[in-house]
Amino acid sequence: MKTIKAFAPATVANVSCGFDVFGFAVEQPGDEVTLTLTKTPGVRMTKIEGDGGRLPLEAEKNTAGVAVISFLKSIDSDAGVEIFLKKNLPLGSGMGSSAASAAAALAGINHLLGEPLSRRELLPFAMESERIACGSAHADNVAPSLLGGFVLIRGYEPLDVVSIPTPDNLFCTLVHPHLELKTQDSRQVLRSTIPLKDAITQWGNIAGLIAGLMKPDFGLIGRSLKDVVAEPIRSLLIPGFDVIKEKAVESGALGCGISGSGPTIFALSTEKETALRTGKAIQQEFKKLKLESEVYISRINSTGAKVIS
Ligand code: HSE
């Protein structure tokens, strides 16, 4: 019996202006998946830890299971696989929890079977699992969790994923308040049309953020971390959001927004100290509203999902 353990990181999807098209990976936290090849064909989830008993143990309903099932199907394999999922990422947090489970499972199974597919070729299976998790096969969490780095999903049909170089001295603050928002619900509140004026603002910021990361130009990054499409509506679901944003910028962060579909808040800074200070300031605001939270500080993770043992 061959067993391996794989890790995949949390991700910040959207990065303010890039709804469904931008995402980056952080170093920690992340999910761990242990996969064992068995003689009995089929995919089975043997155990899930850290989810408080809330995730389904049926492989067809779990993002790690779905990803492995669709991967095996695509390579015509009748391998037997047992999956043990250790959830370190909170559910409904906006940190790409379902995506990290799928990405770790895919990096693991691909390795176990001798790397028949490239990382990029694994993406459609991870997207399939996002569809199961929240009804939409967006790639802005799964792509950075699998590939690492800052990723642009230039197009979905066909899938066109572009890795964007980022400056070394970019630190991400994540503050996760103890609140849960289901991605499916946070997507349903969005408007289905965008006024032209807002679209112009948004695509200016999208281009500005990419240019800012590539030059690099930190002022431009900060000015471009603005979202007039999803944030104005979704922020209503996050207590204290407007003050939190002000405090983050006062603390020296380049900018601040909702991580994925929330409620986790992300901020970007050029110094680790600033990232820490920003985290404390945001945590304090949540505390005033009687919300406990965790803070994570990290550089952008350029590796993505990896086999750890
Ligand atoms: N782009 C997706 C959304 C990410 O904002 O709904 C979900 O984490």
pLDDT tens column, 75-92: 999 999 999 999 999 999
Residue 1 has pLDDT above 80, yes or no: no
Q: Give ranges for CATH 3.30.230.10 in the chain.
A: 3-164
266 - beta bridge partners? 174, 257
Give domain 3-164's CATH number out of 3.20.20.20, 3.40.50.300, 2.60.40.10, 3.30.230.10.
3.30.230.10
The predicted model gives 21-26 an average pLDDT of 98
**Average pLDDT, rounded, for the chain:** 96
Closest C-alpha to ligand 1, atom 8: 260
Inter-axis angle of helices 97-112 and 119-134, to 10 degrees? 140
Question: How far away, in angstroms, is 114 Cα from ligand 1 center?
Answer: 32
pLDDT of amino acid 3? 95
The predicted model gives 276-304 an average pLDDT of 98
pLDDT of amino acid 136? 84
pLDDT of amino acid 110? 97
Provide Rg for the chain, Cα atoms: 19
Q: Cis peptide before 195, with omega less than 30 degrees from 0?
A: no
pTM above 0.85, yes or no: yes
Nearest one of 96, 16, 25 to 257, comparing CA atoms: 16
For residues 107 and 8, the answer to whether their CB atoms sit within 8 Å is yes
pLDDT of amino acid 257? 98
Closest C-alpha to ligand 1, atom 1: 20
Q: Give ranges for CATH 3.30.70.890 in the chain.
A: 171-299
Residue 176 has pLDDT above 80, yes or no: yes
83 in contact with ligand 1, CB cutoff 6 A = no
Question: How far away, in angstroms, is 280 Cα from ligand 1 center?
Answer: 25
The predicted model gives 302-307 an average pLDDT of 97
Where residue 164 falls among pLDDT bands split at 50, 70, 90? very high
The predicted model gives 32-50 an average pLDDT of 96
Token pair, residue 162, equals 């572009």
pLDDT of amino acid 271? 97
Choice from 63, 138, 206 to test ligand 1 binding pocket (greatest atom count within 8 A of CB): 138
Choice from 156, 261, 264, 265 to test ligand 1 binding pocket (greatest atom count within 8 A of CB): 261
Question: Could you read off the pLDDT of 91-113 as tens digits, one per residue?
Answer: 999 999 999 999 999 999 999 99
277 in contact with ligand 1, CB cutoff 6 A = no
Question: How far away, in angstroms, is 41 Cα from ligand 1 center?
Answer: 34
CATH superfamily of 171-299: GHMP kinase, C-terminal domain (3.30.70.890)
For residues 8 and 104, the answer to whether their CB atoms sit within 8 Å is yes
pLDDT of amino acid 30? 98
Question: How far away, in angstroms, is 19 Cα from ligand 1 center?
Answer: 7
Where residue 169 falls among pLDDT bands split at 50, 70, 90? very high
CA 10 – CA 32 distance, rounded (Å) = 11
The predicted model gives 265-269 an average pLDDT of 98
Backbone angles phi, psi at 122, to 5 degrees: -80, -20
CA 109 – CA 37 distance, rounded (Å) = 9
Question: Could you read off the pLDDT of 223-259 as tens digits, one per residue?
Answer: 999 999 999 999 999 999 999 999 999 999 999 999 9
3-state helix, strand, coil in the chain (%, to 5): 40, 25, 35
Question: Could you read off the pLDDT of 110-160 as tens digits, one per residue?
Answer: 999 999 999 999 999 999 999 988 888 899 999 999 999 999 999 999 999
